Amino acid sequence: MLTFKLLREDPEYVIRKLAVKNFDAKEIVEKIVLLDKGRRTLQTELDGCLAQQKQKAAEIGALMKKGLREEAEKIKAEVASLKEKSKEIEAKSDENNTELNSLMVLLPNIPCDLVPEGKGAEDNVVVKMGNEIPDLGPDALPHWELAKKFDIIDFDLGVKLTGAGFPVYKGKGARLQRALINMFLDINTAAGYLEVEPPVMVNEASGFGTGQLPDKEGQMYHANLDNYYLVPTAEVPVTNIYRDVILGCNDFPVKMTAYTPCFRREAGSYGKDVRGLNRLHQFDKVEIVRIEKPENSYAALDEMIAHVESIVNRLGLPYRILRLCGGDMSFTSAITYDFEVYSAAQGRWLEISSVSNFESYQANRLKLRYKDENGKIQLAHTLNGSSLALPRVVAALLENNQKDGKIIIPEALRPYTGFDCIG
């Protein structure tokens, strides 16, 4: 959520920057500026009314001491009238604030100056590539066929138990999942991230704090009776640990990592791009989250990108890093870098991580602040990244490492799997 101060002082800047995200903010911003002016006017009226009540209360006390009861009663009547006026102002103020807040949450975060213009994935900018794409030959199998051949992932059984998009991992497939989760967590904790195990259901306040609500409620699984939401990513509960918290100067950096299953409805997904592990409703992911002072957040973003890259390199997967254009960014992000690995059997790139800086956007919604060196309360910056999302990592590992009728496990992963091949 953007701040009233920014919208009030430079509305044209907000409109211009949000256009980079292909978001037409003019009408909303104009309404917000008008309502914000009304909010401040009403507050001034209310403050004046309350000050008069206080002054007249003192007058009543002085008159009563002098025994001037009749005069005091007249002023009491004036106070009663002022109280009614205060109630009317408060009612108008509440109505104004409700409308104001409903409009504020409709505005996405402002993209930073590094974000390129563009409408979709085709306009994203490749900033780096690494590791060679293997030449598997014409007999290479896609991962869903490999999964069936080696009986390590059962998609049909998942349909029986739940529905499409809920696979069952079996034998070495289940062990591979556990191995990747443990490896990722170990690498993250070795880099100074505190491991936490959060709930996988969150309340509405948590969803609002990180920006999933009201923007993505259609993509989240909702437990109606309790009004809880299954997490679409560990970012939501982990970042909300610091909701309504004021940090001290010496509390930075805050670095956390967590594994959770993630749940996304993925409404409207169809076609070959959703086959196998390419797009699931439930999947495993390890996340990293950072909270930083504003002046340090972009250095932290660079560190996070390098950290995720180091994990991909340990797995030996061909990858590329993209800076997302405005039209392909999330509602809450100020800048996002995506990691994609090449799926050699499918002949396509698969996203496995997004690393984002939200600047103060989430912190404003979370009321996540810190006290600076001068004792002034400031908004912190929040960042997060996948390190990593498992399904497409597994897809690429299975496809890219098929050789001589077996799937070879990368050396860095073998201490966690306990085996060096599948098949």
Separation in Å, CA 199 to CA 18, 35, 305: 34, 38, 26
pLDDT number for residue 220: 95
Are residues 19 and 164 located together in one domain of the fold?
A: no
Domain count across the chain: 2
Are residues 345 and 282 located together in one domain of the fold?
A: yes
Is 400 among the domain residues? Answer: yes
pLDDT number for residue 270: 53
Is 116 among the domain residues? Answer: no
pLDDT 10s digits, 136-179: 988 899 999 999 999 999 999 999 999 999 999 999 999 999 99
Would you place residue 57 in the very low, low, confident or very high pLDDT band (cuts 50, 70, 90)?
Answer: confident
Are residues 205 and 298 located together in one domain of the fold?
A: yes
Q: Which domain holds residue 9?
A: 4-104
Task: Please give the average per-residue pLDDT across 78-87, as a whole number.
Answer: 92
Predicted confidence (pLDDT) at residue 324 exceeds the cutoff of 80: yes
pTM of the model: 0.93
Q: Which residues face 194 on adjacent strands? A: 256
Are residues 257 and 216 located together in one domain of the fold?
A: yes
Are residues 214 and 163 located together in one domain of the fold?
A: yes
Are residues 284 and 322 located together in one domain of the fold?
A: yes
Predicted confidence (pLDDT) at residue 269 exceeds the cutoff of 70: no
Predicted confidence (pLDDT) at residue 61 exceeds the cutoff of 90: no
Are residues 201 and 62 located together in one domain of the fold?
A: no
Q: What is the CATH number of the domain that holds 306?
A: 3.30.930.10
pLDDT number for residue 62: 87
pLDDT 10s digits, 9-23: 999 999 999 999 999
pLDDT number for residue 218: 84
- Picking from 160, 390, 155, the residue whose alpha carbon sits closest to that of residue 284 is 390
pLDDT number for residue 70: 85
Is 388 among the domain residues? Answer: yes
Of 104, 136, 168, the position where a domain reaches its end is 104
Residue 345 in contact with residue 357, Cβ under 8 Å? no
Task: Please give the average per-residue pLDDT across 28-38, as a whole number.
Answer: 96
pLDDT 10s digits, 328-358: 999 999 999 999 999 999 999 999 999 999 9
- Mean pLDDT of the residues in the chain: 95
Tell me what percent of the residues of the chain surpass a pLDDT of 90. 89
Q: How far, rounded to the nearest angstrom, does the alpha carbon of residue 87 sit from its chain's CA centroid?
A: 39
Are residues 75 and 203 located together in one domain of the fold?
A: no
Would you place residue 268 in the very low, low, confident or very high pLDDT band (cuts 50, 70, 90)?
Answer: low
Tell me what percent of the residues of the chain surpass a pLDDT of 70. 98
pLDDT number for residue 305: 98
More confident residue, 275 or 157: 157
Predicted confidence (pLDDT) at residue 48 exceeds the cutoff of 90: yes
Are residues 89 and 141 located together in one domain of the fold?
A: no
How many angstroms separate the CA atoms of 183 and 16, rounded? 43
